[in-house]
Amino acid sequence: MLLNTSVKPDHLNPKDFPELKNDTFLRAARGEEIEHIPVWCMRQAGRYLPEFRESRAGKDFFETCRSPEACCELTLQPLRRFPFDAAIIFSDILVVPQAMGMEVQMCPGKGPTFPEPLKEPEDLQRLKTKVDVSSELDYVFKAITLTRHRIEGKVPLIGFTGAPWTLMSYMIEGGGSATHSKAKRWLYRYPEASHKLLSQLRDVIVEYLLGQVKAGAQALQVFESHTGCLGPVEFKEFSLPYLRDIGRRVKDKIKESGLDNVPMIVFAKDGHYGLEDLSESGYEVVGLDWTIDPRSARIRTGGKVSLQGNMDPCALYATKERISEIVKRMLEGFGTKGYIANLGHGLYPDMDPDNVGAFVEAVHTHSHQLLNRK
């Protein structure tokens, strides 16, 4: 079903892909008419799946990320279980700092760790001044191309990246952080160095996203995961301008390359204070976390963009009946036009796959009912 194992990564070209059979996600992203509301989940290829844990057992995380075969297999696993309307390539946002010359390890029980984080502005000299994205991140592009062939047109494939501020925070904090105080210290004490680093990250990200589209990605998502630790003023200085630059530059370069335009999604978690700005930042879709009321989001974005989200992931701990009720209310709040159902963040490792299936089924069932009412 879904897996054409005869395709070898070394022999793949990003062309002659199988015809897309389900474009519902892409149409919803563009605000076009749909037969049902599309649904996918952040971290849908993840540790909640037994087959994922089995595939990853005993293997280094970033070694897996560097294997196109492994990334393709992990991307396809959830599609064998659930009728998702999109897939997202298995990778990690921290491959970008790695490409810039920083060491990143994935430590069990601790998460991503930078053995030598950036501490002072002079540490920026340790970063590569020129990053050959096509070489450094070639393994991601190969994984995308391979997956586009093996997915056999079942659903669109999403590529992604972390946003500059989120990556900067990891590079300075040395890993995850509750306060992000080391990174925020840079914003207040070293604003010029902060902008220099953010600009370097932006330039690499633009080339990285363009490379993903050239490799076959049919949509792109930019994860600004650490918006919540910024205030509105800092967001407008150190996050929003770079998000806008990325959206504009990627679209310009796609056009210059003669490629078809792809919808872009910006997901600024906990960035509810910047919703109006995000809706005018040049992206077709704005992703929302669960702290934003769907009806309020529609009003505040004024119909300028499609919306994606935003069920609390923890709602998946509820009974299947309760999940169905929560989904129904969410869909009624967003409406059926220009809407992609998702969670407000990624799936957690201890979640029951059956409840993920109940979420997907509820979205499709209730969306059909809502569309048939029209």
Domain ranges across the chain: 14-372
> What's the confidence (pLDDT) of residue 14?
86
Span 14-372 CATH architecture: Alpha-Beta Barrel (3.20)
> What's the confidence (pLDDT) of residue 15?
87
CB 52 within 8 A of CB 77: yes
> What's the confidence (pLDDT) of residue 1?
42
Please write the tens of the pLDDT for every residue from 37-59.
999 999 999 999 999 999 999 89
3-state secondary structure of 30: coil
> What's the confidence (pLDDT) of residue 11?
47
CB 170 within 8 A of CB 180: no
Enzyme catalytic residues:
43, 47, 56, 92, 170
Torsion on CA atoms 267, 270, 274, 275, rounded to nearest 10: 60
- Dihedral (CA of 279, 282, 288, 294) sign: positive
User: Can you give the pTM of this predicted structure?
Assistant: 0.96
> Cβ of 21: how many Cβ atoms within 10 Å?
10
> What's the confidence (pLDDT) of residue 8?
61
> What's the confidence (pLDDT) of residue 253?
98
- Dihedral (CA of 96, 102, 103, 108) sign: negative
> What's the confidence (pLDDT) of residue 191?
98
d(CA 52, CA 38): 24
d(CA 362, CA 346): 18
Low-confidence ranges of the chain (pLDDT < 50): 1-3, 10-11
Adjacent-strand bridge partners of 310:
342
Q: What does each C-alpha distance from 25 to 38, 176, 211, 286, 328 come to in angstroms?
A: 5, 31, 21, 14, 19
> What's the confidence (pLDDT) of residue 12?
74
